[in-house]
């Protein structure tokens, strides 16, 4: 039997005056999966999340969550969601406990039930010992875990996380990943934006790469890497005066590559190992396994987006 998507977008558009931030995307996100949104700065990821979480109106197209339209049933949809936004929205004047209690009021959770859930979510993110502290007295990693705890208070069916680990050290990042993995095992559907390719590879069952408001590709991380990059990658840094000869030779031999200016990335898509080694003779680097970052750069290029 075919599964019904938990989130479905059809020709979804968001315009801010004459800027089209999301340009007619189609999405089907299934129950229990962790679905990632990757894309350069300004690609339209947060805008898409904000429409899904009913925080920003849809300009055109259809968008539904558990069969409910975001235009017609925002209240019901918000009750099903736990949202961790990019910005830290904790109240600095309240303690950890008070922050969580204030949030429980939005969902009209009865006081005794709220108290129980606060204990539960703080225990889950290992912050029970900080219950009387204010957010300013927590580290960045603790604040992120607190935001996740807060998002879980209403027992959401879907967790929406906008860059949940930006700025965290590796220990804190892994701690957040562990928590998200536990929640996934419990069957929660997770939507995630991230600039960390390792995070997406680790957590996401499927993902989309978005650029300029359009979905460039979607699929599982490993399928996408295999399809668009191949097995292995080698970066070479030939002297300037030899680069064009090497590039021409790669092109003539139908080897997939990317000219990065000072370096060339060569993709092993068809076991072209020997051909490449002879072309780059003397300037070969080491082959390494292809990864999501290779895919991302192949699809979205290397130009900085903040400058545009």
Contact 96, 42 (CB under 8 A): no
3-state SS assignment for residue 100: helix
With binding defined as CB under 6 A, does residue 42 bind ligand ATP?
yes
Count of C-beta atoms within a 10 Å radius of residue 8: 17
Residue with Cβ nearer ligand ATP (39 or 238)? 39
Q: What backbone phi and psi angles, to 5 degrees, belong to 202?
A: -75, -40
The answer to whether 3 and 25 have CB atoms below 8 angstroms apart is no
Contact 21/14 with Cβ under 8 angstroms? Answer: yes
Nearer to ligand ATP, 118 or 208 (CB): 208
Pairing of the two strands 256-259 and 60-65: unpaired
As measured in angstroms, the least distance from the Cβ of 124 to ligand ATP is 27
Q: Which stretch binds ligand ATP (CB under 6 A): 34-42, 67-75, 105-113, 285-293?
A: 34-42
Of 86 and 291, which CB lies nearer to ligand ATP in the complex structure? 86
* Least separation in angstroms between CB 191 and ligand ATP: 13
Buried/exposed code over 137-159 (b: 16+ C-beta within 10 A; e: otherwise):
ebeebbbbbbbbbbbbbbebbbb
When binding is defined by CB under 6 A, the residue of 9, 21, 25, 52 that contacts ligand ATP is: 21
Residues forming a β-bridge with 232: 268, 289
Residues 45-104 that bind ligand ATP (CB under 6 A): 45-47
16: contact with ligand ATP by CB under 6 A: yes
**Helix or strand or coil: residue 286?**
coil
The answer to whether 44 contacts ligand ATP (rule: CB under 6 A) is yes
Q: Of the two residues 25 and 118, which places its CB atom closer to ligand ATP in the complex?
A: 25
Residue 165 binds ligand ATP (CB under 6 A): no
- Does 207 sit near ligand ATP (CB under 6 A)? no
- With CB under 6 A as the rule, give the number of residues binding ligand ATP: 11
Q: Which residues bind ligand ATP (CB under 6 A)?
A: 16, 19, 21, 39, 41-47
């Amino acid at each position: 039997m075919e599964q019904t998507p938990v989130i479905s977008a059809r020709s979804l558009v968001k315009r801010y005056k004459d800027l089209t931030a999301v340009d007619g995307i189609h999405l089907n996100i299934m129950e229990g999966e962790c679905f990632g949104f990757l894309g350069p700065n300004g690609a339209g990821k947060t805008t898409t999340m904000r429409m899904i979480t009913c925080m920003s109106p849809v300009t055109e197209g259809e968008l539904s969550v558990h069969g409910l339209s975001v235009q017609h049933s925002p209240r019901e949809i918000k009750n099903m969601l736990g949202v961790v936004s990019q910005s830290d929205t904790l109240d600095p004047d309240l303690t950890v406990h008070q922050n969580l209690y204030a949030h429980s009021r939005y969902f009209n959770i009865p006081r005794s039930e709220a108290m129980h859930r606060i204990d539960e979510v703080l225990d889950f993110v290992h912050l029970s010992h900080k219950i009387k502290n204010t957010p300013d007295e927590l580290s960045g990693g603790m604040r992120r875990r607190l935001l996740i705890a807060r998002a879980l208070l209403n027992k959401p069916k879907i967790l929406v996380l906008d860059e949940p680990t930006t700025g965290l050290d590796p220990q804190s990042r892994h701690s957040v990943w562990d928590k998200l993995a536990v929640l996934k095992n419990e069957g929660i559907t997770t939507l995630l934006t991230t600039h960390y390719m390792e995070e997406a590879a680790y957590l996401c069952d499927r993902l989309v790469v978005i650029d300029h408001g359009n979905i460039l590709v979607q699929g599982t991380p490993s399928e996408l890497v295999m399809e668009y990059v191949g097995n292995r990658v080698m970066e070479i840094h030939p002297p300037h005066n030899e680069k064009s000869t090497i590039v021409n030779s790669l092109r003539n031999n139908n080897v997939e590559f990317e000219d990065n200016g000072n370096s060339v990335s060569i993709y092993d898509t068809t076991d072209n190992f020997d051909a490449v080694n002879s072309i780059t003779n003397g300037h070969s680097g080491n082959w390494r396994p292809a990864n999501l970052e290779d895919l991302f750069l192949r699809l979205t290029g290397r130009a900085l987006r903040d400058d545009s």
